[in-house]
Amino acid sequence: MAFSESGGGPVGHAPAGGGASAATSIVDRADSAAVRDGVFTDRVIVRCRSAAAQSEVVTGTSERWAKLASEWRVEAVTPTFDPAPKNVALATELGMDRFLTIRVPAGTRVQELASELADQPELFDHVELDPCGEAHTPPVNDPLFVDQWHLRNTGQVISGVPGTPSADIKAVEAWQIVPPLSPVVVAIIDTGVSQSHPDFAGVLVPGRSFIGTDPNQIDDNTNISHGTYCAGIAGASWNNASGGTGLGPNVRIMPIKALSSIQVGSQSTCANGLTWAVDNGARIASMSIGWGSSSESGPLATAVAYAANNNVLLISSVGNSPGSPVGFPARWDKVIAVGGSGRDDEGWLGSTTGIEVDIVAPADNILTTCDDNAGGFNGYSRQSGTSMSAPMVAGVAALVLGVNPSISAQQVRSILLGTSDDLGAPGVDPIFGFGRLNAEQAVLAAIATLPCGADMNRDGQLTIDDIFVFLNLWFTQFPTADFDRDGQLNAVDIFDFLSAWFNGC
């Protein structure tokens, strides 16, 4: 028989009172007793050894499996990656099609179940529990303020303390030199994103929820709008004369709801959200979320591999636990691990540190969008935490890809790390990684990758329009017209530009 409904048999392994129905067991029950000791007690994740073994499990034709399923009151056996990844060949190569989620009543002793499943090597080559992670929630929710010091630090006084002028990510300088930008989709894998905030008008693209039963319910919650904080930092409407601003005028936000209303979620849910984002056009995935442990061959690691192999840039915050190890997914090599810096270009005291840290970005009192009863509905508040740092890196990455959409995710990673401002001990260190994010230098490096600098309007052709664009920029003393990148606008730039244009570079 197939195991899509609750089975009979002994109940000693499961909680008293009967299990939930198969329909409700598929819902991520992070708000219930499903979580205990840091893992979800209503599921175990397995990867079948082969397609044949998978068929035996799904159809219930394996006698040993049928006995186990009955003993443990298995409610359902479902594909872990649902919907299935679109890149079938890659998904098959990574074994994503062989992952199954074994659903059991909430409160089951899943550690024992996993142990018994691991003793069935003829059926399963991988068995793991599904840890419950928490969003890297800002530890302090301060009153509304009007200065976004991370974009331009003028020494603003925040909470009575001034910052250090120019200790910022050089966003304004980057905006002054960017050429026309292509739109870039950034997936915010979090608690959802406000659908009503005015600063997201024209910014949002279709997303999906993996929490609850409605995949279209991608709005943030009214408790703490963690995903809305992150989305605003990366892509709040730019230069619209209201509210704050995001990092990139070309950013398009894809809301992926993978965390519940209390900001927790499973690794398999996050894996599904990441895979869906990859399959639906995201070029960058920003994950301000983490777990203290994970498996190198589990669903989340496999989804990370799927995204990386599909040329998606992966970014994750390292967490807000000084003295603790960097968690997952930030800990993996395929993911840019983002720590926090402060208003004086020092390491933010609340940031997790470690040799896995790749780069840091401002994390202290960051003004951003909010839509909750804590900071105000469709409003703005200042937030602290590495959760704010990760989407900042994602926003600059979107600027880089907007300059040259043809470069790879690995090239973008190299640009971000290679152009960061080295802080602390010389070279890479466990507090700052390669250094503090520098948007201006990253954009300049992206411009240098363009095959033809004389194509000023980035339409792929050299026409008279490019000359008009360049001369207009030069006469208005706009930094983009610094064609030879020597920091000065003079006649040499005109000569170099025209020489490149006539030579058909």
**Do residues 117 and 44 lie in contact, with contact meaning Cβ atoms separated by under 8 Å?**
yes
Helices marked H in 19-62 — which ranges?
22-25, 51-59
Strand order in the sheet with 284-287: 208-209, 251-257, 184-190, 284-287, 313-317, 335-341, 359-362
Catalytic residue among 260, 288, 387, 389: 387
- Decide if 32 is catalytic: no
Q: Residues 432-450, buried b or exposed e (16+ Cβ, 10 A)?
A: bbbbbbbbbbbbbbbbeeb
Structure token pair of residue 278: 């990859």
- Decide if 226 is catalytic: yes
d(CA 385, CA 402): 27
HEC readout, 162-223 = ECCCCCCCCHHHHHHHCCCCCCEEEEEEECCCCCCCHHHCCCECCCEECCCCCCCCCCCCCC
Torsion of CA 279, 285, 290, 296, to 10 degrees: 50
d(CA 494, CA 49): 64
d(CA 494, CA 476): 13
The DSSP bridge partners found for residue 44 are 102
Residue 492 backbone class (left: φ over 0; alpha: ψ -120 to 50; beta: rest): alpha
d(CA 321, CA 128): 25
Catalytic residue among 13, 150, 197, 226: 226
Q: How does DSSP assign 380-428, residue by residue?
A: EEEE-SHHHHHHHHHHHHHHHHHH-TTS-HHHHHHHHHHTSBP-SSSSS
- Decide if 387 is catalytic: yes
d(CA 177, CA 391): 21
Directed axis angle between helix 409-418 and helix 386-403, to 10°?
120
73 to 13, 114, 227, 237: CA distances (angstroms): 8, 14, 36, 50
Catalytic residue among 168, 190, 364, 372: 190
**Do residues 126 and 47 lie in contact, with contact meaning Cβ atoms separated by under 8 Å?**
yes
| Side chain identity, residue 63 | E
Catalytic positions, written as ranges: 190, 226, 387
